[in-house]
Homo-oligomer: A and B are copies of this chain.
């Protein structure tokens, strides 16, 4: 399966660089010139190398058994001048490659954003920390089920876990091959891999049993897997390279979210910030340099596009932008890649809902003011399918439920820490959906808070950016582990108030319109409400 995202491809792949770090990557290359052995200097090959590497990497330098024969060959081939590649495994630096001569210039790593739907790989030059190339593809597990629950169920059947692991490893190996070819890099020159993903994706990547993730009390096998080896799962890079997965804090707040926090830097600032990543699940983190609190809930697939009546994934032909003239009710829409409209993707659905509200076609409860049960976005004559592309009452209800769940989660979280919506200073939107969505529409429907726009930051692929940061900076790695250990996970399913609020927050943009001053103003200007 080739990823066919085009126009929005760049957006999905893009990392927003907010955090500046000193380069101290997960692997190191060291060029050394060794004294040639003689009868009077007869130290063994491996010991000679290790002693010399201790000077730069400290006491804990080790050489895996499978590397040992290679050491002697490289030392002699390079006439005792070699470049060693070392990788960090906790307190230990392990020699993972040795090449004759000076190969300092060729030092690469791979940062991965492993999504349920899309997998993005970034080839990183570990000398500079810069991204050299990006490759994306659908997660090969999709063939076994689009949604995460289907996959968790499959993983519980005999051989299922292995099947799902193989599928995603195959996807990653395709991405690795693509990146290597693009940049003329040998795959064995990739000497470290970091992954940002939700807990279930990490479990399936590592071959761990995900079954307890979806059963109370929602206990994953591991949240902090630490340094593993790529050879444990079969990634086709340097076989001794470390595999580091960003830590998670609970079954529903995974390494993708922690990578996002890291990439936003919100944990190092004094002001209260809200971080939101909305996809099938909605995760949010509230906090500042002193404390962090996270929660998650099933946002429902309404925003993913494909449950809506004419919903679809963000692929060519998807309507991703909709404008409705408040006077004429004429519709103006845009499709991905400019192709004839096939359906509506998530951001198009949010636009529809916002525009229908502002055009006065639906009320604040999300009901059509007329007797209509649907709204035609693209007439049959213009569509690729020859049928009307519509936005229905059911679609509206689904979207409202999703946004209601997000509102309720946020308010439960705020109440838990004794703050209100108005205390939030900065808002970060993570993930492809956050990047792609029209910010104003998201505010109008109440999915995002109504803050000064300069305090609303789209992070792009912050899971991938978090993975890049830990790949190139050990300080960042320690930081994200510290975040994981200090963050408080707020289990929404355990809170009765949450369900109550969920029921109570189904107005557009919010039951209490005062929380949404700019939306209130727009609606008043259009005569849709009175002061």
A residues near B (Cβ < 8 Å) are: 37-47, 50, 60, 62-63, 65-66, 68-69, 71-72, 89-92, 206-209, 212, 216-229, 232-233, 248, 250-251, 489, 491, 493-494
If A60-B90, A208-B68 touch, whether A250 touches B42 (CB-CB below 8 Å) is: yes
If A91-B91, A218-B39, A493-B39 touch, whether A225 touches B65 (CB-CB below 8 Å) is: yes
Task: Enumerate chain B residues within 8 angstroms of A62, measured Cβ to Cβ.
Answer: 90, 226-227
Query: Which partner residue on chain B sits nearest A50 by CB separation?
Result: B224
A244 to chain B, nearest CB (A): 12
30 contacts between A and B (CB under 8 A): A40-B491, A41-B217, A42-B217, A42-B219, A42-B489, A42-B491, A44-B220, A44-B223, A44-B224, A44-B248, A45-B220, A46-B224, A47-B223, A47-B224, A60-B91, A63-B222, A63-B226, A65-B225, A65-B232, A65-B233, A66-B232, A68-B206, A68-B221, A68-B225, A72-B212, A72-B219, A90-B92, A91-B91, A91-B92, A92-B92
Task: Enumerate chain B residues within 8 angstroms of A232, measured Cβ to Cβ.
Answer: 65-66
Copies of this chain, how many? 2
6 extra interface residue pairs, beta carbon distance < 8 Å, beyond A39-B216, A62-B226 = A43-B219, A44-B224, A45-B219, A46-B221, A46-B224, A89-B92
Q: Is the Cβ of B217 less than 8 Å from the Cβ of A39?
A: yes
Q: Is the Cβ of A38 less than 8 Å from the Cβ of B91?
A: no
Query: Which partner residue on chain B sits nearest A492 by CB separation?
Result: B39
- Cα distance A522–B459 in the bound complex, in angstroms: 95
Q: Is the Cβ of B39 less than 8 Å from the Cβ of A494?
A: yes
Q: Is the Cβ of A206 less than 8 Å from the Cβ of B65?
A: yes
Task: Enumerate chain B residues within 8 angstroms of A91, measured Cβ to Cβ.
Answer: 60, 90-92
Task: Enumerate chain B residues within 8 angstroms of A228, measured Cβ to Cβ.
Answer: 65
Task: Enumerate chain B residues within 8 angstroms of A251, measured Cβ to Cβ.
Answer: 42
- Cα distance A41–B219 in the bound complex, in angstroms: 9
Task: Enumerate chain B residues within 8 angstroms of A63, measured Cβ to Cβ.
Answer: 222, 226
If A68-B208, A72-B212, A208-B68 touch, whether A221 touches B44 (CB-CB below 8 Å) is: yes
A208 to chain B, nearest CB (A): 6
Task: Enumerate chain B residues within 8 angstroms of A216, measured Cβ to Cβ.
Answer: 39
- Cα distance A229–B62 in the bound complex, in angstroms: 13
Task: Enumerate chain B residues within 8 angstroms of A218, measured Cβ to Cβ.
Answer: 39, 42
